[in-house]
Amino acid sequence: VGQSAHTPARRGVLAWDRRGEPVGTVAIYLVVTFLAGLAAILVRLPPLVGFLAAGFIINAAGVEHLDAIDTLADLGVTLLLFGVGLKLELRTLLRKEVWLTTTVHMALTVVMGAVLILLIALLGLSLPADTDWATLAVLGFALSFSSTVLVVKVLDDRGESQSVYGRIAIGVLIMQDLAAVAFLAIATGQTPSPWAFALVGLLPLAWVLRRIWDRIGHDELHVLFGVVVAIVPGYALFEAVGLKGDLGALVVGMLLASHPAAGELSQDLFALKEVLLIGFFVSIGLTGLPTTETLAVSALLLLALPFKAA
């Protein structure tokens, strides 16, 4: 109504998305993901288990991969870690419960993981039995990490991210991420840009952002402010200087954590973050189907969990 004969009709958003992908494919993703999440709840498992399963189901069914899923996943992780930063002050990382726990835990887990991988290799699974110790150490190092997204999601769902052990756990996860950045820089030779030192400018920028924040109300502009800050000075700026973008969102959130409205903004972003994170869990299943060998290795690696927890 109201369009002239010379004005092309706008495509309905439910007919085709911006990449020209049919609504049928989008509908399949939505229905399978919802039903898988519902099934997980019915058997008393977290919905995210169902979302992971949905990715494998969609992959196995040969449904076309939607590129938008990866974008949603990145946005979800960015907002998740930004929200975590809003609840966690920078001085938390300086506590011995964080840095000492991280150091000792990673050292012990690297040794344990290397030995476990060696035993798996001796069984003839995945690795040759004559694998050198350098490779075993790298794999052990990988096993020393925990999934930041998964742990933070579980803590958020339980309402325990602000508990004493929740803050310590998140602090350990951040230290692990920093160790991963350092390792990748050394191992690949791709060191961050010299411009990374300019990130100290985030300190005065945080002061400016807090002053802007003071003038923002409690409506949709408040939510938009959080999204813009998480993505631009957070994700995009860190990626531009060769650092992990999601780590940048976390750091910017921590720099703004002292603002009186930090808790309110984190809560305002909660629903948006939860929906976008579904894309992250679905995208994992879309990367490929597990083989019999990888399932066997995974089952053996589960033996490490009690020791890692202890």
Q: Which residue has the tokens 């476990």?
A: 116
Rounded average pLDDT over 239-246: 84
Contacts of residue 95, defined as CB under 8 A and 6 or more positions apart, other chains included, come to 168, 171
Q: How far apart, in Å, are the Cα atoms of 293 and each of 148, 239, 298?
A: 26, 35, 9
Task: Compare 193 and 173 and report the one with higher pLDDT.
Answer: 173
- Residue 57, pLDDT > 80, answer yes
Closest CA to 25 of 53, 67, 56: 67
Rounded average pLDDT over 43-48: 88
22, HSE (Cβ side, Cα atoms, 13 Å): 5
Predicted pLDDT at 162: 78
Predicted pLDDT at 288: 79
Predicted pLDDT at 43: 93
Least confident window among 15-24, 27-36, 225-234, 264-273: 15-24
Predicted pLDDT at 12: 44
Length reported for the chain? 310
Band of pLDDT at residue 295, cut at 50, 70 and 90: confident
Residue 35 C-alpha from the chain's centroid: 23
Band of pLDDT at residue 14, cut at 50, 70 and 90: very low
Predicted pLDDT at 210: 92
